Structure 1
Amino acid sequence: MNMKKGFTLTITLKYLGLAFVFGCFLIATGCNKGFENTLPQSFRNDTAGLGAGKRVLYIVLDGVTGTAVKTLAPTNIAQINAKATYTYDGLADNKYNVITNASAWTTMLTGYDYTKHNVTAEDFTGLNLQATPTIFTRINSSINNARTVSIASTTVFNDRLATDATVKQNVSDDAAVKVGVVAELASNNPSMIVAQFHSAETAGAANGYTASTPAYAAAIQSIDGYIGEILTALKARKGYSGENWLVIIASNKGGGQSGGVVGSNIFNDPSRNAYIAFYNPRFSSVKIAQPDPNSYPFVGTAPRFIATTATNVTAIQNNTAIGNFGTTGNFTFMFKFRDDYGQANYYPMFLAKRSAFNSVSSTGWGFLFGGNSAQLDWGGTPRPGFGIDIRDGRWHTVAFTIGLLNGVRTLTLYVDGLTRYSGSINGRNIDNNIPLRLGGDVGTDGNTQTNLLIRDVALFNVTMSATEVAAIMRTQIKSTTPFFSNLLGFWPGNETSGTAMLDQSGKGNNFTYSSNVAFAQFEEISPNVSPDISPAAYLSVPNGVDIPMLIYNWLNIAVSPQWGLMGRLYSPTVSLPTN
């Protein structure tokens, strides 16, 4: 094929780009079906025809967080990013275990995480290299006369993981690692070189793993200088013009406390935060970032509360004391809802504790629609409005707090994280023996009918601040949520059958659904809700376990399904200038 001089052919290889993977976790299910994210048996790829002479330089940065690299912007790494697929949001792994240097090294050198290689402690207890061979073993058994080299500043790295390397050198420090790599590049013909730098981990463990920590920042800058010298030596090789080097620079792990609670956001675990880059002079610069937390989908099931002129759906609280606030005490009440009625009407109640559910009463309180918005009726007065159109078919969050403000008992209403009203209810007692109820009355006409979903109803015995309310009302409450121990009741409403809306606070104050309740599935993005992150989101950035897969691909090594590798293939985007 003849091409004009200066033409650039851009080829996107078998690359799990953000658009695809992010779409996967938006749908949460079904994306793996029919999508091949591992190399098939007998697959041999010449990486967009880059030619022979494929080699790998794999630089391991112990304890270097992606966040620190992003902040410090070291000179040589910045130049690498200009010709690399890279991320500051990479993950050492996407589990909730306590991560160690040993477990992280083993993951990134075998292509299996700790659930397969069994290494969790720094002494490598449980390591079985027959079941989970390293890249040294695989390469040496797949390529004739391969020369695999490991140069490490931590002796145990080589002693436990580089036993099958053709050459292994244990050196005294990171400067000696650089010297060893430069000498190997100048004098020999390596198929793969692994260089392990440990000084940043030492500095971080002693002083803190942040860019503002002088010793840690200095260690990273020094390593960056070593990387620059290594790349200079690489390009000075006599046969460099006929070689194709894949340069991988990857943190083994980040730093700080690790081992989060199941369901927490692993992207927020600094011990797993890794810088990972796949570099070649012909690669295009592609930055991979973690998904925007505001774009996580709210996915689940909720009871649908419909009230027509013939019937209505309700949930009745079994404990009539729930929702009584007396004249003293501190409380926060919150819930999420989505109105599907879709048009203005006046004034159907939809969540209330009062006897007269369809009219104003001096006893009890309740939420009712009004036009395209809604309001909170507090014993007839005050009746603060939401102040926004909430009849838009999207999820909204509502809360109120009761507590002393400058010595005055005050009711404060919040909608979608913003304060909508604050006023005195000092000395007022609107308690009653009527159960708290979700769902409206049978309607008399279009003005009194309802159709809505209600989720995540929660009552706390504490007055949260505006900041705390705004943060918590957006989330899905769990045992790690602030003030979880202050819950008087928590009703997620995530049942899919039955007649009980279960209290998951441990207090046993269930609601009882009416027999005609139906449960609706939903999946959507709302600007008002910050739902739990889907585990699939962690696959949208490179993980340590993915690296061996790319190495095998680059070296044209067929990956057998029997290997059971756990990584995904992140092949970079290649720009091929042609004559």
Structure 2
Amino acid sequence: MTKPLLRYLLSVFLIATIVLPAVLSADDQVPTRRALLIGIDGLRADALKAAKTPHIDALIESGAFTENTQILGERYQENDTISGPGWSSFLTGVWADKHGVHDNSFTGKNYTEYPHFFHYVKVQFPQAKTHSFVDWSPIDEHIVSDADVHKVYPAHGHEEYTKQDREVTRDAVKTLREDDCHVVMAYLGAVDETGHRYGFHPSVSAYTTAIERVDAQVGLMIRAMRSRPNFDAEDWLVVISTDHGGQGLGHGGGHSIDEIRTTFLIVSGQPAKVGKIEEQTYLVDVPVTVLTHVGVKIDPEWELDGQARGLK
């Protein structure tokens, strides 16, 4: 048994059986701050600028933003530039040499030692309500854990992803409007599928149209979040990013291609530091930013590779 695995198992055991019941009151078991994380697969930053996206633009204007988020780290760059390793880094906060996913086969996955960030929310706040809505099935099948609600809407091809993005949005909106949710993750896959069919480039009208459609869906989620009766007191943070960009009809093998490996990060809401994020940002920063905002104390023994970005 590896040392990280042993530490992980011991921490779970101690927290579940001894520590939490003794030290946490009912109020301590839920966070006082909340977060909405939106992942838009295969969205190039330059295409985001070219498309008409009033809802995302408003989040950028009221938050922190960078177009220099790297999907590969300085320490390790051996994984392919595709969704399996991309969403694994996005959701675990560690690079592929730790989470073990180098391609879309998920062979070698190591989410036991380096789990989905929902796990860490639950470590700190056992009664927090976590929700995941995705239409790329492998995320739900392999990565998601410690979710009170996790729904998957399987899709294959451009038309199905367009339809299922609407279903993801519908259920995320209902949850944000009606449920006592603390962390919500919504994944939208149609932009990536459109890029694979028509091309990943801001000059491709089908691609920018798909981005504009997703912007409208983001707008519905934001409106639902802001309609909550106690919204003003809940201190919501909205984080939006992607797993990779694209070039031509794909994004594999993009280690030296800026349009594939360089993406964007939006951190928006009252807790955000408004303006350009000057520090270098990475894909693994996404979940650590959410965890930090929600109030999770990052334990060095978790060996997370990311850092919180864009917060005051």
Indicate whether the TM-score tops 0.5: yes
Q: Check if 1:564 corresponds to 2:307.
A: no
Identity among equivalent pairs (%): 24
Gaps of 5+ in 2: 1-30, 155-163
Is the contact between residue 55 and residue 244 of structure 1 (CA under 8 Å) also seen in structure 2?
yes
Is the contact between residue 129 and residue 182 of structure 2 (CA under 8 Å) also seen in structure 1?
yes
Matched with 1:272 is: 261
Taking only aligned residues, the RMSD between alpha carbons, in angstroms, comes to: 1.8
Matched with 2:85 is: 103
Aligned residue for 1:116, secondary structure, equals helix
Structure 1 or 2, whichever has the larger Rg, is 1
Task: Provide Cα deviations, 1:338-376, integer angstroms capped at 9, x if missing partner.
Answer: xxxxxxxxxxxxxxxxxxxxxxxxxxxxxxxxxxxxxxx
Amino acid at match of 1:544: L
Q: Check if 1:66 corresponds to 2:36.
A: no
Shift of 1:112: 0.5
Task: Provide Cα deviations, 1:174-206, integer angstroms capped at 9, x if missing partner.
Answer: 011110111101221111000000000000011
Task: Provide Cα deviations, 1:225-269, integer angstroms capped at 9, x if missing partner.
Answer: 0011111111100111211011000111111344367xxxx5x42
CA distance in 2, matches of 1:282, 1:104: 26
CA distance in 1, matches of 2:205, 2:67: 20
CA distance in 2, matches of 1:237, 1:548: 24
Q: Check if 1:259 corresponds to 2:253.
A: yes
Higher relative strand content: 1
Matched with 2:118 is: 136
CA distance in 1, matches of 2:306, 2:78: 17
Amino acid at match of 2:288: M
Matched with 2:59 is: 80
Shift of 1:569: 2.5
Shift of 1:554: 0.9
Is the contact between residue 33 and residue 234 of structure 2 (CA under 8 Å) also seen in structure 1?
yes
Q: Check if 1:165 corresponds to 2:154.
A: no
Count of residues paired in the alignment:
267
Matched with 2:72 is: 93
Aligned residue for 1:271, secondary structure, equals helix
1:15-26 matched pairs, under 5 angstroms: none
> Structure 1 pair 73/283, CA: closer, same or farther in 2 (3 Å)?
farther
Aligned residue for 1:270, secondary structure, equals helix
Say which of 149, 153, 160 aligns to 2:135.
153
Is the contact between residue 69 and residue 275 of structure 1 (CA under 8 Å) also seen in structure 2?
no
CA distance in 1, matches of 2:178, 2:311: 29
Matched with 2:215 is: 224
CA distance in 1, matches of 2:254, 2:182: 38
Matched with 1:555 is: 294
Shift of 1:58: 0.3
Matched with 1:117 is: 99
Say which of 252, 262, 282 aligns to 1:543.
282
Higher relative helix content: 2
CA distance in 1, matches of 2:272, 2:115: 29
Matched with 1:10 is: none
Is the contact between residue 150 and residue 168 of structure 1 (CA under 8 Å) also seen in structure 2?
yes
Is the contact between residue 116 and residue 143 of structure 2 (CA under 8 Å) also seen in structure 1?
yes
Matched with 2:160 is: none
Amino acid at match of 1:278: V
Is the contact between residue 40 and residue 242 of structure 2 (CA under 8 Å) also seen in structure 1?
yes
Matched with 2:32 is: 53
CA distance in 1, matches of 2:44, 2:131: 25
CA distance in 2, matches of 1:97, 1:163: 22
Shift of 1:273: 2.3
Task: Provide Cα deviations, 1:258-296, integer angstroms capped at 9, x if missing partner.
Answer: 4367xxxx5x4222221210000464431247xxxxxxx
Shift of 1:71: 2.3
Gaps of 5+ in 1: 1-51, 290-539, 574-579
Amino acid at match of 1:274: T
Task: Provide Cα deviations, 1:95-141, integer angstroms capped at 9, x if missing partner.
Answer: 36421101100001001011211101112111111111111111122
CA distance in 2, matches of 1:71, 1:288: 21
Amino acid at match of 1:204: G
CA distance in 1, matches of 2:99, 2:49: 31
Say which of 186, 194, 205 aligns to 1:203.
194
Aligned residue for 2:284, secondary structure, equals helix
CA distance in 1, matches of 2:166, 2:280: 31
TM-score w.r.t. length of structure 2: 0.81
Amino acid at match of 1:164: D
1:302-381 matched pairs, under 5 angstroms: none
CA distance in 2, matches of 1:554, 1:109: 15
> Structure 1 pair 284/561, CA: closer, same or farther in 2 (3 Å)?
closer
Shift of 1:64: 0.3
Amino acid at match of 1:542: T
Shift of 1:72: 2.1
